[in-house]
Chain A
Amino acid sequence: MREITYKQAIQEALREEMRRDERVFLLGEDIGVYGGAFGVTLGFLEEFGKARVRDTPISELGIVGAAAGAALMGMRPVVEIMFIDFSTLALDQLANQAAKMRFMFGGKARVPMVLRAPQGAGTGAAAQHSQSLEALFVHFPGLKVAMPSTPADAKGLLKAAIRDDNPVVFIEHKLLYNRKGPVPDGEHLVPLGRAEIKRPGRDLTLIAISNMVIKALEAAEILAAEGIEIEIVDPRTLVPLDEATVLDSVRRTGRVLIAHEACRTGGVGAEILARIVEEGFDYLDAPIRRLAGRDFPIPYSKVLERQVIPQVEDIVREARRLLGRAGGGKRNDQ
């Protein structure tokens, strides 16, 4: 299969959907000539013109609300928020309008919009440009939340999100943009709400999201050399969450580790853990463990930034510990 980057996969999804459906258009800051802060929309202005590639002022609340309004009218806007941190400026329109209009109007409205934004630490962008905020969006019924970890998932999920009749928050990871992976030729859709097992294994279920999947795959190699086979489950969308695939894996392994980059407190790991306990308690041979970002804003210093985010070695250590192996010593997290 051909290999393209995560960024190219997103570009393909956007381009294909814009060619396919006149109603799809882009809104965002610096998405025109500049091509977006991460270069995702480079070349789109030339192909689709100013009317469909709308460079906006720095007005997050305004543009997300305008997307909701246009969607209500039957358009299919895709908003780029430059860093997910800035989505908090638009939260009213997203949470109180886009997410709720359909239900509070008695099931009458449709709000087919997508909010794309990159998140994650690792670039030295500090506290206001490095957060992982998926937990925020998961908490508003009416929103769907996608978090692809591979180019194939990025393409397939974004196309599905654009065709979905609901507001979808599509969360990209900055450190993934230039990673390559196989993506099928031609039409490629990944339905929202279906997890994927990224690596099969019998000893432990590791539920990882976004960039943590990449770290999990690395950790799995190290563990395999010690005879430990971990199964990596990537939910791919947090809403809807594919509980069946998660529980099926837990039933087979009996041990669970959940890894995400977002802060531990109130993170989606807690939600996933709770669902496993509620529905799959009898499958468990050990307490479920979570690996998450420490409860700090992301520090600027490279040294500190690395310390607050789970790393490959943390996954390895936690997995060993869950399996009672040597080298799984106590972790100094909170």
Chain B
Amino acid sequence: MSLTIEALLGMYRTMVRIRAFEERVDDLMMKGLIHGTTHLYIGMEAVATGVCSALKPEDYIASNHRGHGHCIAKGADLNRMMAELLGKATGYCKGKGGSMHIADLERGNLGATGIVGSGIPVATGAALAISMRKEAKVVACFFGDGAANNGAFHESLNLAAIWKLPVIYVCENNQYAMSGPAREMFAIPRIAERGSAYGIPGATVDGNDVLAVHAAATESIRRARDGHGPSLLTCETYRWKGHSRSDANRYRSKEEIAAWQARCPIQRLRRYLEELDGLDARAAAAIEGDVRAEVEEAVQFAEKSPVPSLEGAEADLYA
């Protein structure tokens, strides 16, 4: 493994940041302080972190409804994220988008979408633009197992394949699409097999192992940057929390959830870092303390921010 301790610690911090942010969002939601719904990324932190750490700052991502982790891994400002969740004028979308629609174009986050699968064609188009301008950038497109059964997925993979576009399709297989179990919604054992149907590589990795995700993403990104076209990377992971605000978890057992929680991606990297003498309890607590403070500051920033108005909203509708 060629990653430095420093790089590993960076990944660790990103994952802890995502976790801390999401736990606070969960808490705000429970307290009724968030108007709409949110979809939490807890348990899946290694996917966004592993992929985004393999990207360059000038590369792009396309996100989905479960997008907070993607955003943070691409370097988003927690203040503006939290302000968006609280519907404030200082949020990423000036309070117009909310949790499902955070876009951070300056940092290459092409935005989140609440229509399952609908980010896949958009990511493909972004890669088309890159390819037409002969730039050396790539697009990483995040979507769920559920999205892989929508037509948008199939049409996009074929387009990207025939045009050899610099895009990597990152399927976050968290085993369920709302209540729909992947084991029942697919008649094939591995989603990545679909790559071969379009003539592109398909790989499956342990999505709770940030190093495995990073390594596979690095390989796909190199391919894309070198002009060899797209690939499909399926990361096997699990969502710890309910699908969204209202989910009685009727479709899965407590035992199953507990078994996946025992495979925590953050603890896993922590153990690895400890073995390398790269992290001890004190340093881990310091990271934890830092990010919790950062999240608290974001909440305060959001709470103090003004509510938006419709004044000038036309300018946000038509360019």
Residues of A within 8 A of B (CB): 29-30, 32-35, 37, 55-62, 85-86, 89, 123-129, 294-297, 299-305, 307-308
Distance of A125 Cα from B307 Cα, bound (Å): 17
A128 touching B100 in the complex, CB below 8 Å, given contacts A33-B250, A34-B251, A303-B87: yes
Distance of A127 Cα from B114 Cα, bound (Å): 9
List 28 A-B pairs, Cβ < 8 Å. Answer: A29-B178, A33-B251, A34-B178, A55-B179, A56-B180, A57-B149, A57-B150, A58-B177, A60-B150, A61-B151, A89-B115, A89-B151, A126-B96, A126-B97, A126-B101, A126-B114, A127-B101, A295-B317, A297-B317, A299-B313, A300-B101, A301-B35, A302-B35, A303-B95, A303-B308, A303-B309, A304-B87, A305-B35
Additional A-B contacts beyond A127-B96, A296-B313, A301-B88 (13; CB < 8 A): A57-B186, A89-B115, A123-B37, A124-B87, A126-B97, A127-B97, A129-B100, A129-B114, A297-B317, A300-B97, A303-B87, A304-B96, A304-B309
Minimum Cβ distance to chain B for residue A332 (Å): 9
Task: Report the interface size for chain B: residues with CB under 8 A from the other chain.
Answer: 42
Minimum Cβ distance to chain B for residue A309 (Å): 12
Q: Which residues of A contact B146 (CB under 8 A)?
A: 57-58
Contact B87 A300, beta carbon cutoff 8 Å: yes
Q: Which residues of B contact A55 (CB under 8 A)?
A: 179-180, 184
Q: Which residues of A contact B317 (CB under 8 A)?
A: 295-297
Distance of A55 Cα from B289 Cα, bound (Å): 44
Q: Interface majority SS on B: helix, strand, loop or mixed? A: loop
Q: Which residues of B contact A305 (CB under 8 A)?
A: 35
B199 part of interface (Cβ distance < 8 Å): no
Distance of A32 Cα from B250 Cα, bound (Å): 10
Minimum Cβ distance to chain A for residue B188 (Å): 13
B285 part of interface (Cβ distance < 8 Å): no
Q: Which residues of A contact B149 (CB under 8 A)?
A: 57-59
Distance of A303 Cα from B95 Cα, bound (Å): 10
A125 touching B101 in the complex, CB below 8 Å, given contacts A58-B150, A89-B115, A300-B87: no
Complex partner residue of B36 from A29, A33, A300, CB under 8 angstroms: A300
Distance of A314 Cα from B238 Cα, bound (Å): 47
Contact with A along B97-129 (1 / 0, CB 8 A): 111110000000000011111000000000000
Contact B180 A301, beta carbon cutoff 8 Å: no
Q: Which residues of B contact A62 (CB under 8 A)?
A: 151
Q: Which residues of B contact A35 (CB under 8 A)?
A: 250
Distance of A123 Cα from B38 Cα, bound (Å): 12
Contact A301 B151, beta carbon cutoff 8 Å: no
Q: Which residues of A contact B34 (CB under 8 A)?
A: 124
B197 part of interface (Cβ distance < 8 Å): no
Q: Which residues of B contact A124 (CB under 8 A)?
A: 34-37, 87, 98
Distance of A126 Cα from B147 Cα, bound (Å): 20
Contact with A along B67-79 (1 / 0, CB 8 A): 0000000000000
Contact B95 A58, beta carbon cutoff 8 Å: no
Closest 4 CB pairs between A and B? A124-B36, A300-B98, A301-B87, A124-B35
- Can you name the residue of chain A whose Cβ is closest to the Cβ of B317? A296
- Can you name the residue of chain A whose Cβ is closest to the Cβ of B87? A301
Residues of B within 8 A of A (CB): 34-37, 84, 87-88, 93, 95-101, 113-117, 146-147, 149-151, 177-180, 184-186, 246-247, 250-251, 307-310, 313, 317
Distance of A110 Cα from B310 Cα, bound (Å): 47
Contact B179 A33, beta carbon cutoff 8 Å: yes
Minimum Cβ distance to chain B for residue A32 (Å): 7
Distance of A129 Cα from B99 Cα, bound (Å): 12
Contact B100 A308, beta carbon cutoff 8 Å: no
Contact A300 B114, beta carbon cutoff 8 Å: no
- Can you name the residue of chain B whose Cβ is closest to the Cβ of A298? B96
Contact A304 B185, beta carbon cutoff 8 Å: no
Q: Which residues of A contact B179 (CB under 8 A)?
A: 30, 32-34, 55
Complex partner residue of A301 from B100, B147, B250, B308, CB under 8 angstroms: B308
Distance of A37 Cα from B309 Cα, bound (Å): 31
Contact A34 B95, beta carbon cutoff 8 Å: no
Q: Which residues of B contact A294 (CB under 8 A)?
A: 310
Distance of A35 Cα from B34 Cα, bound (Å): 24
- Can you name the residue of chain B whose Cβ is closest to the Cβ of A85? B115
- Can you name the residue of chain B whose Cβ is closest to the Cβ of A305? B35
- Can you name the residue of chain B whose Cβ is closest to the Cβ of A34? B179
A299 touching B180 in the complex, CB below 8 Å, given contacts A33-B250, A57-B149, A128-B113: no
- Can you name the residue of chain A whose Cβ is closest to the Cβ of B151? A61
Distance of A34 Cα from B150 Cα, bound (Å): 20
Contact B250 A57, beta carbon cutoff 8 Å: no
Distance of A123 Cα from B184 Cα, bound (Å): 31
Distance of A85 Cα from B310 Cα, bound (Å): 23
